[in-house]
Amino acid sequence: MTTLQDVSLDTEGFMVDPNAWNPEIAEALAEEEGLAPLNERHWAVIDFVRKDWGETGESPTLRRITKQSGVNTKELYALFPKGPAKKVARVAGLGKPKGCI
């Protein structure tokens, strides 16, 4: 099983290879972000983001997440405070979304 110590991260802490991601890595990244333990609503967003990335090849934007994941903006900010699109992309093992600073 791949662990966080086994994966390469870029200078901002995003996984270099999203295909190396697994739920255990998500939990470790969530802990680093102060989001652990992940609950079913976190996983709903993470699963949506991973699925969307698989279909488009890019991390979805905040707007796309809130319009299509079933989690509204207020809840998304509660689940992933201070930069939800960036934090969920990191926990989901994806690169930084376009447009994020």
Instruction: Name the residues annotated as catalytic.
Output: 100
**Can you give 68-82 as a three-state secondary structure string?**
HCCCCHHHHHHHCCC
Determine the Cα–Cα distance for residues 93 and 29; give it in Å rounded to an integer.
Answer: 9
**3-class DSSP assignment, residue 15:** strand
Contact 18, 89 (CB under 8 A): no
Question: Which two tokens mark 86?
Answer: 């960036």
Instruction: Find tokens 């488009």 and name the residue.
Output: 56
